[in-house]
Amino acid sequence: MNDLAGKHIVLGLTGGIACYKAAELCRALIKEGATVQVVMTEAATQFITPVTMQALSNRPVYGSQWDAREPNNMAQINLSREADAILVAPCSADFMSKLLHGGADELLSLMCLARPIDKVPLLLAPAMNREMWAHPATQRNLVQLAADGATILGVGSGFQACGETGDGRMLEPEELLADVITFFHPKVLAGRRMLVTAGPTFEAIDPVRGITNRSSGKMGFAVARAAHEAGAQVTLVAGPVALATPRGVQRIDVQSATDMLQACVEHAPAANIFVATAAVADWRPAQASDQKIKKDGSGQTPTLAFVENPDILATLARSAQALSGDLFCVGFAAESHDLLAHATAKRVRKGVPLLVGNIGPATFGKDDNALLLVDANGTKELPHASKLHLARQLVAEIARRLPTALKK
């Protein structure tokens, strides 16, 4: 199911060159299942036409508080009452100032003022020149608008239409879409801090070769995204993978199991929850060559000795026990057979309250999976679905299982 299915969004456009991004944003919201009602200020129509936005939204565009299409001539009431949220993107510096002071001299600001505050949230995506963004008046307005209940979605940084470079660009449509989806998710982990590992590790044999596995990191990245959507502050320790960082997530890139352990030990004291999704190599070469090992034509293969890698999950679980259980540890087991038996034994061996099992060869590199949750009370199956859907289910299960002390 699409993430915004059943949601009705009023998309407000104010004057700014970033209006061109609003066209793609409108389309993205609709592709994700939302219905979109576009409302434009007169200034916005100087940058993009109502005809374009009508074609994309498949709805008439509104721009005047005197619009006679509404039988009661109260578009500001009718349109706002239908909305699950009002998203102003782009939101100009002038429009923010107007909102702050309760201005209502055109339809969009009138709707923002007339909306039921407790039922229709207001999301703002600022867009302006870098000097306008940095101006003390703008920054004061942002603080007060947030205090008044608006959600500020932030800005991007980079080259601006005026030729200058800096903060103030409107976020890209895909970033705003992710923020809107996140906004609507239940915040079951609000105030919590989660540490997640993802992907494979790479254990060097020489400067150009190494030992790794087929893990793509997709499950761990999905868990990180789902935890952020649920309100957690997320740190993602990622092995060598080619995946984009989930929006709102802090990412730390590592190579080897030793690197991953060091990063986890460093960040675990600040975390409440640890989810060990990574497929960590069990062994590494005892001594990596500092030069490429070359063939000599003799047909003899080099002899490699191996040592066992540190057990990251068990190490952090022991630390959690030493700290009176202040770190809720969740392990993953990627097995090839006998999943229930291996996952059950691994949970006990690692000393963790929750172990998540899956069949590795059936899921590595794919976008879908099936999970088996094992805890002290038994098992629970999460049937085959997309990894993001499963990650959201897993995050909800983690939130439900958190000790009372960690829920505060």
Residue 154 CA to residue 248 CA, distance in Å, equals 11
Residue 115 CA to residue 98 CA, distance in Å, equals 15
Name every residue whose Cβ is closer than 8 Å to that of residue 232 and which is 6 or more positions away in sequence: 189, 190, 192, 193, 194, 273
DSSP state for residue 83 in the 8-state scheme: -
Residue 268 CA to residue 264 CA, distance in Å, equals 6
Range list of β-strands (E), 49-115: 85-91
Q: In a 3-state reduction of DSSP, which class is residue 57?
A: helix
Q: Within 13 Å, how many C-alpha atoms sit on residue 227's CB side?
A: 27
Residue 186 CA to residue 200 CA, distance in Å, equals 30
Closest C-alpha among 153, 219, 248 to residue 238? 219
Q: Which of 26, 162, 264, 329 is catalytic?
A: 162
Q: 162 an active-site residue?
A: yes
Catalytic (active-site) positions = 162
